[in-house]
Amino acid sequence: MRLATVIKKGVGKAVFKHSDMEDLRRVLKGLQDSPEATGVTWVVTDGVFSMEGDLGNLPGLRALCDEFGAMLVVDDSHGTGVMGETGRGTHEYWGMQGKDIDLFTGTLGKALGGGAGGYVAGTQAAIDMLVQRGRPTLFSNALPVTVACSAAKAIETMLNEPERVQRLRDNVAYARKGISEVGFEVLESPTAICPIIVGETSRAISMSNTLLDMGVFAIGFGYPVVPEGAARIRIQISAAHEQEHLDRLIEALRALSVQD
């Protein structure tokens, strides 16, 4: 989904237009002038938007948050372990420090090994507040020790072996080139998400099923997950893919293009 939100006590939440800093300024200015708005303003965004693979404009968001005294929360579920020179996340891609983001949320179920659960990262004061007041924390069990240890090892591996991030970039470049050469248009993105827009939901699901029969697992997404008429096959590349895997993907897409 391509949603970014401003949350303010007394007025609830408002959604500003995707990657539109002027629209965010309008929303923040309205909250600033509203007598009903009290407390802290929170600007919440994805780091990587999962359906297109485009990025949240974190420098622009940070600048507006500083101007209006707002807190910036980034869900970097699709950026952690992937974006930036060492895979630290979307903020690293933008040349920012971790301290430039007030709160990070993320998952342990994607680049960090496919485990369960997620995390929130921020200042000690913010984390202490969540531990004491956050209902999901208060009323949930802790992660199993095996999952926590697996996640810690995945983070250690990511930090100690940055060549994995470069391998991912190389794989993505190879796959994107191959997808284009066989006649499909893949949305431009610096991420490992390679969406092929096919139009109707029925076509996306049919293509996904055909690809699976060919030994390629790529999910089709349609309305209401994406706008009507913009259904897609979302291909996600991994550093673990070998060239033979990418070639199988490309040849399967070539066969699909001939069928079309």
For the annotated catalytic residues, the residue numbers are: 50, 78, 110
Secondary structure (3-state) at 181: helix
What strands lie across the sheet with 193-199, from one edge to the other?
193-199, 231-236, 219-221
β partners of residue 248: none
In whole angstroms, what is the distance from residue 186 CA to residue 75 CA?
24
Measure the CA–CA gap between 53 and 130, rounded to whole angstroms: 30
Tokens linked to 207: 């293509």
Q: How many CB atoms lie within 10 A of CB 127?
A: 15
Question: Token match 């200042």: residue?
Answer: 123
Q: Going by C-beta distance under 8 Å and a sequence separation of 6 or more, which residues neighbour residue 251?
A: none
Burial class (CB in 10 A: 0-12, 13-18, 19+), 258: exposed
Alpha helices in the chain (DSSP H): 21-33, 58-68, 90-93, 124-133, 135-138, 145-160, 163-181, 201-213, 243-259
Write the DSSP string, 57-116: -HHHHHHHHHHHT-EEEEE-TTTTTTSSTTS--HHHHTT--GGGSSEEEEESSSTTTS-S
Contact 197, 186 (CB under 8 A): no
